[in-house]
Amino acid sequence: MTPRARNPLLLLAAMFTLLLLVAPLAVVAAISFTSNAMLQFPPEGFSLRWYVQILKQPEFLHATVTSLQLAVASAAASVLLGTTAAIGIRRHGFPGRAAVEGLLLSPLMLPQLVLAIALLMYLSRLGLSSSFLGLWLGHVLVTMPYVVRLVLVSLERVDPNIERAARIAGASPMRVFFKVTIWLLMPGVLAGASFAFIMSFDNLVVSLFLTGPRITTLPVEIYGHLEYADDPLLTAVSSVVILGILAMLLLMERTIGFTSALSRMEK
Amino acid sequence: MTRWRHPPLVVLPALVAILALLAYPLVITAVISLAEYRAGRGIIYDLSLRNFARFLGDPYYLGVLWTTLRISLLVTLGCLVLGYPFAYWTARQRPWLRALLLFAALAPLMVSVTIRSLGWIVILADNGPINGLLIWTGLVERPVRMIYNEFAVVLGLIEALLPFMVLSVLTSLQGIQPEVLRAAAIAGAPPRLVFLRVILPLTLPGIAAGSLLVFAIAASSFVTPRILGGGMTKTVANLVVEQFLVTLNWPFGAAIGLLLVALVLGVYTIQHVLVRRLQGNRQ
């Protein structure tokens, strides 16, 4: 970049944007420690009463457990399907390869709302709407493309000479795959798994259509409470989620690079 | 010997999943969009374009479409005006600070939109911090209504979609060779001219990609409009949700959904052509 032009206006604009991005989450976290019953900023006093309150609300705990199970199951399926598909696309020449790649990534392009209504009409015919299985299928559809994308990028960066060296040293193709290739792909696979987990855990659009009286997820539960939000309980629940996701992102940043993984996905 | 290469078996599970969970459900959606819903009798498959005609011929629905396009346009402009300076400034920082800023800008993207909307409800409330500040400074006497209107929806969407714009612009900024800028400076161009004549044109593909991505996502959003608009601001996506979860007119909802897909795919096509043209001009 150019020798830094220290423009105070530029600094001001950048800080404003940063404030805008961080403010909603910071406010939610701050209010969760309020000691009164008002959903108001700045909070008054300091207490953990709203965190204690969560434990007395079984619906949030149930929804959280469902969301966690769903996120783990979706991430696992997405990693299996997405990794194998990405390897197949990059390592084997076959006609229509680009079309297959485009098809596998297409859920990222289409509005999630449309995926959700299409799934609702399909799964309700199968009697799977408002079931864990139905939710899982829906979440796999929206999380798998992330894994495909990140593993494809990973594959491009793998130096083929490393695998060639293993072959020359006498390893069988299977052994090369399990002892070499898989480990070279690990950062991409882990990034894909983490994104799939978070995207499933956060998902509201698909879940809203596929949940029901029998089963619900945390974002849907929060969404339902938002319309008559009048006590800080929701902020305490949200703060726990924010903290969990933040911890996961920091861990990702230190190990595989969350921001760089995200920028690779955008391209 | 040449032999026909078939897709390897490892691709099949994912391919089957996509065909079963995306392609086939979309076919069902298309068929249902051509059907008719009659209260009390359910869905009647008599295949006509009635639902599409109903949407495109009714001033009310066209009004909703216009609201959606207006909001999406405002959000895109807002993201550009707020995101570009941030990306530009971030790109010039030392590596450790750049990483920190980028993390702070992108982490909110990973938190559910419901939680961020909750934050905005509090910030924009009549007794919220912004109104408190305005009253304290004496600028206004009574709280300004900032929530449950189009302003809140646009602001919430800008915040939600800013990371996409920042990422897109930052990527194209980092792609600029330092030599190009040095050459411009040596040739005697003042910093302002370097920005207008060199940096800005070189980041146009990033601006185009980011803008159209933001526009496409904004045009199909319904959660932020629903929560921060308080039911006052209706978007096309809200109509779809209403048809599916309230009035249960699936055929009409499916038709509106497909119109939304057409809109988004149209935007992506424009992006594709535009980015290609911009990059072609550079060479």
Instruction: Say whether pLDDT at A9 is over 80.
Output: yes
- Mutual angle of helices A132-157 and A58-91, in 10-degree steps: 40
Q: Is residue A206 part of a domain?
A: yes
Q: Is residue A88 part of a domain?
A: yes
Tens of pLDDT along B56-107?
A: 999 999 999 999 999 999 999 999 999 999 999 999 898 889 889 988 888 8
- Mutual angle of helices B113-124 and A233-255, in 10-degree steps: 130
Tens of pLDDT along A143-181?
A: 999 999 999 988 888 888 888 898 898 888 888 888 888
Q: Which helix (H) or strand (E) holds A7?
A: none
Contact residues, chain B, for A213 at CB < 8 Å: none
Cα–Cα distance measured from residue A246 to residue A25, given in angstroms and rounded to the nearest whole number: 11
b/e per residue, A101-135, with b = 16+ CB within 10 A? bebbbebeebbbbbbbbbbbbbbeeeebbbbbebb
Number of other residues whose CB lies within 10 A of the CB of residue A147? 30
Query: According to the model, what pLDDT value does residue B4 have?
Result: 52
Structure tokens at B102: 């980028």
* Total structural domains within chain A: 1
Among all chains, which residue has been given the structure tokens 């902020």? A235
Question: Is B239 in the A-facing interface, judged by CB distances under 8 Å?
Answer: no
- Complex prediction ipTM: 0.89
Smallest CA–CA distance from A84 into chain B, residue: B10
Cα–Cα distance measured from residue A140 to residue A134, given in angstroms and rounded to the nearest whole number: 10
Q: Is residue A255 part of a domain?
A: no
Distances (CA, A) of A81 to A9, A78, A132, A143: 48, 5, 19, 11
CATH number at residue A172: 1.10.3720.10
Question: How many Å separate Cα A75 from the centre of its chain?
Answer: 9
Query: According to the model, what pLDDT value does residue B281 have?
Result: 60
**What does pLDDT average to over chain B?**
89
Cα–Cα distance measured from residue A23 to residue A40, given in angstroms and rounded to the nearest whole number: 14
Q: Is residue A235 part of a domain?
A: no
Q: Can you tell me the mean pLDDT for B207-236?
A: 90
In degrees to the nearest 10, what's the CA dihedral of A154, A155, A158, A163? 140
Number of other residues whose CB lies within 10 A of the CB of residue B220? 24
Among B28, B110, B166, whose Cβ lies nearest the Cβ of A122? B28
Contact residues, chain A, for B106 at CB < 8 Å: 258-259, 262
Residue A9 carries which side chain, given as an amino acid letter? Answer: L
Among B114, B194, B240, whose Cβ lies nearest the Cβ of A2? B194
Across the interface, do A204 and B112 touch by the CB < 8 Å criterion?
yes
Among A113, A238, A246, whose Cβ lies nearest the Cβ of B240? A113
Instruction: Say whether pLDDT at A138 is over 60.
Output: yes
Across the interface, do B185 and A229 touch by the CB < 8 Å criterion?
no
Query: According to the model, what pLDDT value does residue B2 have?
Result: 42
Coil/strand/helix, residue A168: helix
First-to-last CA distance in chain B? 41
Contact B36, A160 (CB under 8 A): no
Across the interface, do A20 and B159 touch by the CB < 8 Å criterion?
yes
Cα–Cα distance measured from residue A42 to residue A24, given in angstroms and rounded to the nearest whole number: 13
Q: Is residue A12 part of a domain?
A: no
Query: According to the model, what pLDDT value does residue A58 have?
Result: 87
Structural domains of chain B sorted by starting position, each given as residue range(s) with its CATH number in brackets: 51-282 (1.10.3720.10)
Q: Is residue A111 part of a domain?
A: yes
Tens of pLDDT along A196-233?
A: 999 999 999 999 999 988 899 999 999 988 877 677 88
**What does pLDDT average to over chain A?**
89
Structure tokens at A194: 């983490």
Among all chains, which residue has been given the structure tokens 């690990």? A186
Structure tokens at B272: 């594709």
DSSP assigned state of B195: I
Contact A238, B118 (CB under 8 A): yes
Q: Which of B4, B18, B94 to mutate to test the interface with A (most CBs of A within 10 A)?
A: B18
Tens of pLDDT along A44-100?
A: 888 888 898 888 888 899 999 999 999 999 999 999 999 999 998 988 778 888 899
Structure tokens at B273: 């052509």
Tens of pLDDT along B1-41?
A: 344 566 788 889 999 999 999 999 999 999 999 999 888 78
B 35-74: CB under 8 A from A: none
Smallest CA–CA distance from A138 into chain B, residue: B21
Cα–Cα distance measured from residue A265 to residue B167, given in angstroms and rounded to the nearest whole number: 10
Across the interface, do B82 and A17 touch by the CB < 8 Å criterion?
yes
Shortest Cα–Cα distance, B83 to chain A (Å): 7
Residue B256's closest CA among B54, B43, B96? B54
Name the pLDDT band for B138 (thresholds 50, 70, 90).
Answer: confident
> pLDDT: is A189 or B38 the higher one?
A189
Q: Is residue A112 part of a domain?
A: yes
Query: According to the model, what pLDDT value does residue A146 have?
Result: 94
Q: Is residue A103 part of a domain?
A: yes
Q: Domain of A170?
A: 65-219
Question: How many Å separate Cα A23 from the centre of its chain?
Answer: 21
Q: Which helix (H) or strand (E) holds A180?
A: none
Contact A125, A60 (CB under 8 A): no
Tens of pLDDT along B234-270?
A: 999 999 999 998 888 999 999 999 999 999 999 888 8
Across the interface, do B260 and A80 touch by the CB < 8 Å criterion?
no
